[in-house]
């Protein structure tokens, strides 16, 4: 099962970190953009090609240190077809390097439409009897607002194709509480959603005791994360918000069990744009951006292990 493979890779690397591949153009070094713009112009295609080179160079430096990468599809979809080609090729390249792929797509729709997303991302797309694996993620993120029948098609494909999900429970953004913290029968909505996520995952629990249906739980809300960890013992957490968004290692320790498992922490900008930030910008040139990312992964691992 994919959740067991993820946990196994966390054990091997000793590192519950996922690197968010969110290639904002301001993070991409000038020498890469100059190369692709010279070839394709300052076009969507030129940007898509730059993103792919950037991602590949980072993947080459981090693949032995982390279990997984999390490309954020919005950052590719922004550039249309050219951007999405870079998304697909990034996934293929990272898989070749042995990385597990968490596609941060936050999709959700009603039954037959949900099935279409599932076919494209974790299942198979049928073309007149021939099946194609399209985007090829191992895990994807989903939004729960539409309810169970919007999640069922994905769960079925998880069973068939050994894939996994992370469903939004409590997100890391400042206004996440506006809807997610509303009180329902004396408990906040995100706990109700947490209960649903647990239930959706009941039939998909792997040998390590965690389900292939995980939850997104932001690092920026430690008290709430602690409570969710208690009421969702079989749910693996994907934890965004570390670093740039303000989440600290001390805060997110509550997402882990006493044995140090149960969650994987995302960092995007903090790693892929490390060369632009303190302390790395003093030691690494723009040309060495991927080496800076490697050092940032090592430092993050040490920071996490201090607290977990």
Site for its own copies in 58-117 (CB under 8 A): 72, 74-75, 77-81, 83-85, 88, 106-114, 116-117
* Closest CB 119 distance from its own copies, rounded Å: 5
Residues whose CB falls within 8 Å of the CB of residue 38, separated by 6 or more in sequence, listed in order: none
Stretch that binds its own copies, among 10-18, 53-61, 147-155, 258-266 (CB under 8 A): 147-155
| Helix ranges restricted to H, 172-283 | 177-180, 189-200, 222-231, 249-252, 269-272, 280-283
Count of chain residues binding its own copies (CB under 8 A): 71
Stretch that binds its own copies, among 129-137, 258-266, 276-284, 291-299 (CB under 8 A): 129-137
Binding string to its own copies for residues 225 to 264, with x set by CB under 8 A, is what?
Answer: ----------------------------------------
Largest Cα–Cα separation, the chain: 60
* Closest CB 214 distance from its own copies, rounded Å: 17
- Tokens 């070749």 locate to 96
Nearest to 4 by CA among 172, 204, 181: 204
* Closest CB 90 distance from its own copies, rounded Å: 13
* Residue 106 a catalytic site member: yes
CA 87 to chain centre: 13
Q: What is the footprint of its own copies within residues 273-302 (CB under 8 A)?
A: none
* Closest CB 295 distance from its own copies, rounded Å: 24
Stretch that binds its own copies, among 57-65, 131-139, 279-287, 299-307 (CB under 8 A): 131-139
- What does residue 100 show for φ and ψ, rounded to 5 degrees? -85, 140
Binding string to its own copies for residues 158 to 197, with x set by CB under 8 A, is what?
Answer: ----------x--xxxxxxxxxx-xxxx---x--xx--x-
Q: CB nearer to its own copies: give 40 or 261.
A: 40
* 208 touches 261 (CB < 8 A): yes
- What does residue 235 show for φ and ψ, rounded to 5 degrees? -105, 125
Nearest to 219 by CA among 247, 194, 196, 191: 247
Catalytic residue among 106, 136, 192, 226: 106
Stretch that binds its own copies, among 10-18, 138-146, 247-255, 296-304 (CB under 8 A): 138-146
Nearest to 224 by CA among 241, 212, 209: 241
Q: Is 126 exposed, middle or buried (0-12, 13-18, 19+ CB in 10 A)?
A: exposed
> What gap in Å lies between CA 117 and CA 134, rounded to an integer?
10
**Of positions 13, 43, 208, 276, contacts its own copies by CB under 8 A:** 43
Taking residue 39's Cβ as centre, other Cβ atoms within 10 Å add up to 11
* Closest CB 69 distance from its own copies, rounded Å: 16
* Closest CB 76 distance from its own copies, rounded Å: 8
Q: Is the backbone peptide bond immediately before 279 cis, with ω within 30 degrees of 0?
A: yes
**Of positions 98, 147, 246, 279, contacts its own copies by CB under 8 A:** 147
Q: Tell me if 44 contacts its own copies by CB under 8 A.
A: yes
Q: CB nearer to its own copies: give 37 or 161.
A: 37
Q: CB nearer to its own copies: give 63 or 289.
A: 289
Write out the two tokens for 279. Answer: 């302390």
* 106 touches 81 (CB < 8 A): no
Catalytic residue set = 106
């Amino acid at each position: 099962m994919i959740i067991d493979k993820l946990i196994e890779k966390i054990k091997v690397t000793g590192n519950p970190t996922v690197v968010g591949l969110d290639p904002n153009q301001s993070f991409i070094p000038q020498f890469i953009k100059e190369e692709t713009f010279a070839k394709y112009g300052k076009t969507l295609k030129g940007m898509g090609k730059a993103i792919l080179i950037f991602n590949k160079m980072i993947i080459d430096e981090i693949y032995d240190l982390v279990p997984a990468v999390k490309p954020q599809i919005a950052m590719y979809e922004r550039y249309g077809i050219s951007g999405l080609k870079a998304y697909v090729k990034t996934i293929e390249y990272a898989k070749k390097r042995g990385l597990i792929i968490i596609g941060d797509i936050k999709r959700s729709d009603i039954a037959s439409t949900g099935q279409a997303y599932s076919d494209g991302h974790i299942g198979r797309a049928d073309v007149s009897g021939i099946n194609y694996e399209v985007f090829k993620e191992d895990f994807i993120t989903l939004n729960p607002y539409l309810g169970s029948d919007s999640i069922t098609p994905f769960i079925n494909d998880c069973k068939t194709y050994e894939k996994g999900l992370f469903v939004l429970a409590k997100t890391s953004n400042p206004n996440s509480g506006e809807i997610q913290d509303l009180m329902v029968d004396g408990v906040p909505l995100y706990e109700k959603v947490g209960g649903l996520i647990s239930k959706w995952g009941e039939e998909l629990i792997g040998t390590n005791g965690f389900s292939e249906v995980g939850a997104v739980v932001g690092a920026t809300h430690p008290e709430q994360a602690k409570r969710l960890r208690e009421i969702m013992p079989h749910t693996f957490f994907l934890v965004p918000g570390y670093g740039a968004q303000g989440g600290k290692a001390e805060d997110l320790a509550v997402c882990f069990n006493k044995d140090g498992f149960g969650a994987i922490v995302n960092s995007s900008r903090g790693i892929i744009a490390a060369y632009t930030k303190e302390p790395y910008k003093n030691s690494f040139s723009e040309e060495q951006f991927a080496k800076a990312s490697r050092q940032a992964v090592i430092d993050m691992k040490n920071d996490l292990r201090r607290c977990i």
